Amino acid sequence: MKIIRTKNDLSSEIAKRCEAGDKIGFVPTMGALHDGHLSLVKCAKQHSSCVVVSIFVNPTQFAPNEDFDSYPREEEKDAKQLETVGADILFLPTKEALYPDGYGCAIKAGKAAQGLEATFRPTHFDGVVNIVSRLFDAVKPDIAVFGEKDYQQLQVIKEMVETYNIPIEIIGAPIVRTDQGLALSSRNAYLSEDEIKIASTFNKILRNATQTKNLDKAKDELLSSGFDKIDYIEIRWNRVLGAAWLGKTRLIDNFHV
Q: Which of 75, 228 has the CB closer to ligand PAF?
A: 75
**37 is annotated as an active-site residue:** yes
Write down the least CB distance from residue 27 to ligand PAF, Å.
Answer: 9
The residue (of 39 and 61) whose beta carbon lies closer to ligand PAF is 61
Min dist. Cβ of residue 239 to ligand PAF (A) = 17
Contact, 36 vs 147, CB < 8 A? yes
CB of 153 to ligand PAF, least distance (A): 6
CB burial string 17-33: b at 16+ within 10 A, e below: beeeebebbbbbbbbbb
Sheet harboring 249-256: ordered strands across? 229-236, 239-246, 249-256
Q: Which is nearer to ligand PAF, 152 or 200 (CB)?
A: 152
Question: In the 8-state DSSP scheme, what is residue 179?
Answer: T
Q: How far is the CB of 150 from ligand PAF (least distance, A)?
A: 5
3 state SS of 91: strand
Residues in contact with ligand PAF by CB under 6 A are 28-30, 58, 61, 128, 131-132, 150, 153
153 in Cβ contact with 161 (< 8 Å): no
Question: Which of residues 208 and 237 has its CB atom nearest to ligand PAF in the complex?
Answer: 237
From 34, 37, 47, 124, active-site residue: 37
As a whole number of angstroms, the distance between CA 76 and CA 54 comes to: 13
Instruction: Please give the positions annotated as active site.
Output: 37
